[in-house]
Amino acid sequence: MPNYLAPGVYVQEVPSGARTIGRVNTSIAAFVGVAPNPTARLDEAVVIDNYTQFADIYVGNATTGTALANAVFGFFDEGGGRCYVVNIGTDGSLTGTSAKPTGLRLLEAIDDISMVAAPGYADAEAYAALIGHCEHPLRQDRMAILDTVETVDDVSALTRVATAGDQDGVKPSVPQQADGAPGRGDRTDSEGSGAAAAGSEGSGADRAGSEGSGADRAGSVSAAPSPPSRGPSAVELALGPPQSPDGYAAAYYPWLRVKDVVTGKLVSQPPSGHVAGVWARVDGSRGVHKAPANEPIRGALSLVRRVSRGEQEVLNPAGINCIRYFPNEGTLIWGTRTRAPEANPYRYIPVRRLTNMIKESIADGTRWCVFEPNDFTLWRTIHFNISAFLTGVWRDGALLGRTPQEAFFVKCDAESNPPDVREAGQVVTYIGIAPVKPAEFVIFKLMQSADVTEIENAGA
């Protein structure tokens, strides 16, 4: 306190007590994979703000593209603004070892990442590494975007969790190149059967015959082969990612056909990079609470396989989001599920991401509270600041309720902070939110009636 010793008028600036809580960025992605120049910035996490910067660092004089390069290009092309890239080199590991960490381990110390993907890595080991990275208690501020295998004969195999030895992982050095024109294998109907779709694109063996062996196709990735037969139990083949109990991962099927950013040729591309770009685009145009679905993938020229409605009825309940082609709309993301169980409150992507945004924003915006006197003044200030922040979130349409009181509550008082809690040096605040969930199933019930008044009264 200042000392007033001489008579006079004194004017001081005093804090109002209000401390604004800002929203964290939810659109920053991280990609792990093999760059066109596999030795460029090896085992480093490098921040990238546009594809030109990526090309200068990771492409150079390379003459073939990779799944990583196309994923980064797709991210920026779909609407992404910033990402981190880790080049693990040829035959590199997603995590490395304790003596030589690489890949995902290099991302552990970066706090502003909200999406993580390893384009084309679709085996049990990769799934475990990606989900484990995002589920770790110190990193529950991000989600993993998982790719499924490129080739699968029976989509129900994606509903069963893969284990080591069930499949050959796709560890791409460059995308698989296709000989045909961009329209190769496209059909005019979007609801065709799985068998017809597989026939239109050709089986794994047919493609191998037309494109040559791995040695003949220099610079192309060895994609996951058709599931090997295991006799009478072949139908039990498991190729899917495991569940994430709290919804920290989302999986997408099928792969896309895009133009390789380096060669310009048509290639098969895992969708995770483009999907991350769509997530970022929706965040900017509508908000993190809007489901990143029913959204076009601008860079997709076609799909490796057309998913029918019947096949999606198998995949959607299992948490596999489909990318589908519709004749009048084009290629759309047509699912918004996480890998959480069906009855879990975090089974929808926007609910998980909105919760991540809120908890990270509050954690960052209330750091000033540490070491403050633990009394009624502190509790009242915490309540006021968090309530003001959540009111803004509610006004944006992210929380369900006609009033803020219906949409959320904040409790920080003597009841939540009894003497034993204060003696332990803790301040406890209870926060409850009601996230808006996507209208996944839009149902109209039609009936015929000559008496409109009777229908209106029945509806009322």
| pLDDT value, residue 204 | 40
| pLDDT value, residue 455 | 53
Task: Round the CA-based radius of gyration of the chain to a whole number and report it.
Answer: 26
Which pLDDT band holds residue 96 (cuts at 50, 70, 90)? confident
Which pLDDT band holds residue 95 (cuts at 50, 70, 90)? very high
What is the pTM assigned to this prediction?
0.83
Residue ranges covered by each domain of the chain: 28-350, 368-460
| pLDDT value, residue 18 | 74
- Of 423, 410, 412, the closest CA to residue 380 belongs to 412
Which pLDDT band holds residue 447 (cuts at 50, 70, 90)? confident
The domain 28-350: what is its CATH number? 3.40.50.11780
In this structure, what are the phi and psi dihedrals at residue 213, rounded to the nearest 5 degrees?
-75, 175
| pLDDT value, residue 453 | 55
Q: Give me the sheet containing 45-48, strands edge to edge.
A: 45-48, 82-87, 28-33, 115-117, 143-147, 249-253, 320-326, 330-333, 295-296
The least confident of 94-98, 283-287, 411-415, 434-438 is 94-98
pLDDT in tens, 125-181: 999 999 999 999 999 999 999 999 999 999 999 999 999 876 554 555 455 554 444
pLDDT in tens, 186-215: 433 444 444 334 334 444 434 433 344 333
